[in-house]
Chain A
Amino acid sequence: AQTVTQSQPEMSVQEAETVTLSCTYDTSESNYYLFWYKQPPSRQMILVIRQEAYKQQNATENRFSVNFQKAAKSFSLKISDSQLGDTAMYFCAFMTRLNYGGSQGNLIFGKGTKLSVKP
């Protein structure tokens, strides 16, 4: 079974500091996409950043960056200069494409990390 594990149920960080959220996944496929989604108290799911498995370069989006370690099946999210608006649940997810050309057909999510940014 393909799974996503987020080992930190809750984290907190001081405003303006840096925090890293961890994510590991398990798949036998070689071709897949990885995502981090943010769910603030409004509960709207917002895409934060995405990474293609065949690209070695780590993705960055403004204050958000990832550390993608394919061999270790690790996909951590780093938030720099944390802001109060970053307070949210963060979900790691991946989407696989099967080797024969089919697709998994859905995003597989971890259980989430609740991040609190403190003033």
Chain B
Amino acid sequence: DGGITQSPKYLFRKEGQNVTLSCEQNLNHDAMYWYRQDPGQGLRLIYYSQIVNDFQKGDIAEGYSVSREKKESFPLTVTSAQKNPTAFYLCASSRTDWDFYGYTFGSGTRLTVV
């Protein structure tokens, strides 16, 4: 079955470390997205990519970086510059960035700073 796989499900980071969250899709979707979810805040866009080798900053990109070297993959790196990284991270994809079918989401990664 096609879908989006996020790994790991739980991730612990020490202060000052960079960590990378994986997102892989086999839906042949062109567009991919990273959202951060905090209690009471809804979902906020970190980065998105409409095509391979291209990506744009979202509303809260500071302290994060991404790459899009393959259509299927859109990893997110949480750098030490991100002051409050503890959150739930959701990856999503869509056929294009204007898609009435909406987005397909992964099952998320819970990141905790220890």
A109 to B43 alpha-carbon distance, docked (Å):
6
- A44, B105: Cβ atoms closer than 8 Å: yes
Q: Is A84 an interface residue (CB 8 A)?
A: no
How many chain A residues sit at the interface, stated as a range, is: 20 to 34
Q: Is A85 an interface residue (CB 8 A)?
A: no
Task: Name which residue of chain A comes closest to B56, CB basis.
Answer: A105
Residue in A33, A91, A97, A105 whose beta carbon sits within 8 Å of that of B43 in the complex: A91
Residue in B33, B42, B48, B103 whose beta carbon sits within 8 Å of that of A111 in the complex: B42
A97 to B99 alpha-carbon distance, docked (Å):
10
In angstroms, how far is the closest chain B Cβ from the Cβ of A22? 15
- A97, B98: Cβ atoms closer than 8 Å: yes
Encode A9-41 as 1/0 by CB contact (under 8 A) with B: 100000000000000000000000101010000
Collect the chain B residues with CB atoms within 8 Å of residue A110's CB: 42
Residues in chain A within 8 A of chain B (CB atoms): 4, 9, 33, 35, 37, 42-45, 47, 50, 52, 91, 93, 95, 97, 103-107, 109-112
Collect the chain A residues with CB atoms within 8 Å of residue B61's CB: none
Number of contacting residues on B, CB 8 A? 26
A43 to B109 alpha-carbon distance, docked (Å):
10
A72 to B56 alpha-carbon distance, docked (Å):
32
Collect the chain A residues with CB atoms within 8 Å of residue B43's CB: 91, 107, 109
Residue in A37, A43, A52 whose beta carbon sits within 8 Å of that of B107 in the complex: A43
In angstroms, how far is the closest chain A Cβ from the Cβ of B103? 6
Residue in B41, B102, B107 whose beta carbon sits within 8 Å of that of A107 in the complex: B102
Task: Name which residue of chain A comes closest to B98, CB basis.
Answer: A103
- B100, A52: Cβ atoms closer than 8 Å: yes
Encode B61-98 as 1/0 by CB contact (under 8 A) with A: 00000000000000000000000000010101000111
Collect the chain A residues with CB atoms within 8 Å of residue B97's CB: 103-106
Residue in B41, B45, B102 whose beta carbon sits within 8 Å of that of A35 in the complex: B102
